[in-house]
Amino acid sequence: MTVNKAVIPAAGMGTRFLPATKSMPKEMLPIIDKPVLQYVIEEAVACGITDILVVTGRGKRAIENHFDYNPELEAFLKANGKEDLIDRVRSIADLANIHYVRQKEQRGLGDAIALAHDHVGEEPFAVLLGDTIIQPHDGEQPGLRQLLNVYEKLQGSVVAVHRVPEQWVSRYGIVDGSPLNGNDDLLDLKQLVEKPPVDRAPTNLAIAGRYVFNHQIFDCLKHTGRGVGGEIQLTDAMNLLAGEQKMYALAWQARRFDIGNRLEYVRCFIDFALKREDIADEIRKHIEVLLHV
Ligand code: G1P
């Protein structure tokens, strides 16, 4: 089966970015001149997925407005001789076929994914966390495409993981498994645990914000009680799924920016600024002046 649908959870409160997120969704924080969520949707589209369900919540209307037409803005740009910008703002609405469902209560990532069941039905689907930007290394395919390749070959749910410093394991979902056919970067999953204390983490392989699931994950979510933080954790449902069918983890070739984290957000901003032809030279000079190099 091929994957035609993606689900993007974007309902979190963004408390680590207050006060910026008091009236703006964290997924709309810009990296230079594009919101984080647009990078995420562009990644799905680059992988051939255009049926996208965004799980939103209260205070997230800016997301819907961003991926819609804005005739007043277009008229303003035209009247002011800024035609070159019209296509840039209009094409965002044509990027993908975007649907929305609202999570009414903050009951966790697992609960947000469960809300996608009606839309997804009995198909495999991708999940891209709306606050995570994945930047493939030069010459590598988009992050999600690397997972889809594994899914298409093995037809089993697969999650992207990164090796993290030991002191960080309690921030993430951690996976354990055995190398598949001697490949250390592709694991046959045995166990997954959400945010374990350092001394109970089986490995340092942290779930990195991109997943591909068989539809049976929805059954597992129905049987998942509240876990860490009193929330319904996707990782706990995945642990159930791994007990029922083959599941895989891919330690992939990509840089992950966890925008839910202030330091990573700033790193991402600088990284992308230094890759933008229109500003890179000036930014580099500015950093050199600051650092007296
Ligand atoms: C979520 C997941 C966690 C994963 C992380 C990646 O946690 O529950 O398993 O490792 O995203 O960013 P959150 O960051 O929402 O606390």
Q: What CA–CA distance (Å, rounded) separates 259 from 175?
A: 21
Same domain, 191 and 232: yes
The answer on 169 and 227 residing in a single domain is: yes
Average pLDDT over residues 49-62: 95
| Per-residue model confidence (pLDDT) at position 138 | 86
Cβ pair 87, 61 in contact under 8 A: no
Residue 176 pLDDT > 90, yes or no?
A: yes
Split at pLDDT 50, 70, 90, the class of 292 is confident
Using a cut of 0.85, tell me whether the model's pTM lies above it: yes
DSSP H stretches of helix in the chain: 36-46, 61-66, 71-79, 83-90, 109-114, 117-120, 143-154, 217-222, 234-244, 262-273, 280-291
24-47 mean pLDDT:
96
Instruction: Kindly report the number of other CB atoms within 10 A of residue 8's CB atom.
Output: 26
Considering the domain architecture, whether residues 279 and 168 belong to the same structural domain is answered as no
pLDDT at 280: 97
Same domain, 191 and 269: no
- Do 136 and 218 reside in the same domain of the chain? yes
Q: For position 288, what pLDDT does the model report?
A: 95
Q: Which domain holds residue 288?
A: 261-293
Q: Tally the domains of the chain.
A: 2
Categorize the per-residue pLDDT at 142 as very low, low, confident or very high, splitting at 50, 70 and 90. Answer: very high
Are both 290 and 251 inside the same structural domain? no
**DSSP string computed for 127-182:** EE-TTEEEEEPTTPPPHHHHHHHHHHHH-SEEEEEEE--GGGGGGSEEEEEEEETT
Q: From ligand 1's centre to the CA of 258, what distance in Å?
A: 9
Residue 293, pLDDT > 80, answer: no
Q: Given pLDDT bands bounded at 50, 70 and 90, which one contains residue 245?
A: very high
Of 28-32, 131-135, 289-293, give the lowest mean pLDDT range: 289-293
Quick one: what percent of the chain has pLDDT higher than 90?
92
Atom of ligand 1 at shortest distance to CA of 234?
Answer: 8
Average pLDDT over all residues of the chain? 95
224 and 288 share one domain: no
**139 and 279 in a common domain:** no
**Mean predicted confidence (pLDDT) in 186-190:** 97
What is each CA distance from 129 to 73, 91, 96, 210, 228, in whole angstroms? 29, 23, 17, 6, 18
Same domain membership, residue 265 and residue 241: no
Chain position carrying tokens 């910008």:
85
Whether residue 92 is found in the same domain as residue 168: yes
- Predicted local confidence at residue 1, as pLDDT: 81
Considering the domain architecture, whether residues 252 and 265 belong to the same structural domain is answered as: no
> What pLDDT does residue 127 have?
98
- pLDDT > 90? residue 261: no
CA-nearest residue for atom 9, ligand 1, is: 173
Kind plus residue range of the DSSP H or E element containing 105: none
Task: Evaluate if residue 81 carries a pLDDT over 80.
Answer: yes
CA of 84 to the centre of ligand 1 (A): 39
Region 36-59 average pLDDT: 96
What integer pLDDT is reported at residue 50 of this predicted model? 93
Answer yes or no: are the C-beta atoms of 150 and 201 closer than 8 Å.
no
Spatial separation of the C-alpha atoms in residues 146 and 207, rounded to whole Å: 15
* pLDDT score of 291 more than 90: yes
Domain co-membership, 31 together with 68: yes
Where residue 220 sits, what CATH number does that domain have? 3.90.550.10
Distance 83 CA to ligand 1 centre (A): 41
Residues with CB under 6 A from ligand 1: 109, 129, 132, 172-173, 194, 206-207, 209, 233-235, 258, 260
Positive or negative, the Cα torsion across 108, 110, 116, 118?
negative
Token pair 């890759």: residue: 275
Ligand 1 centre distance from Cα of residue 106 (Å): 14
